[in-house]
Amino acid sequence: DIQMTQSPHSLSASLGETVSIECLASEGISNYLAWYQQKPGKSPQLLIYYARSLQDGVPSRFSGSGSGTQFSLKISNMQPEDEGVYYCQQGYKYPNTFGTGTKLELK
């Protein structure tokens, strides 16, 4: 199975700050990488697919980059509603594995 390693495990950011979350795949997955945000008690929400494509309705302060084995999610201009847990997920091979999650809090 492809292992997805996320870092950091948690971070806190001030209002307006830019943060980045990294995701490392144990083997090449081309650009078959998605990012999700999950808020407490809610289902995950797709933010980014194909590593850098923004899902409809997602604010443009979210952006994704990377290919192969290294990927990152950038959140510019941190807002209170951006608090939550973020997961990466590879869609290259089954099982479609998820990263371990990054908890983002407002400082």
Using CB under 8 A, list all residues that contact other proteins.
1, 31-36, 38, 43-46, 48-51, 53, 55, 87, 89-92, 94-101
Nearest Cα residue to 52 out of 70, 38, 36, 66:
66
36 vs 82, beta carbon nearer other proteins: 36
Shortest spacing between CB 16 and other proteins, in angstroms: 28
Shortest spacing between CB 88 and other proteins, in angstroms: 10
The backbone torsions φ and ψ at residue 80, rounded to the nearest 5 degrees and listed phi first, read: -55, -35
Query: In this structure, what token pair is assigned to residue 63?
Result: 């952006």
Question: Where do the DSSP E strands lie in 41-82?
Answer: 45-49, 53-54, 62-67, 70-75
14 vs 43, beta carbon nearer other proteins: 43
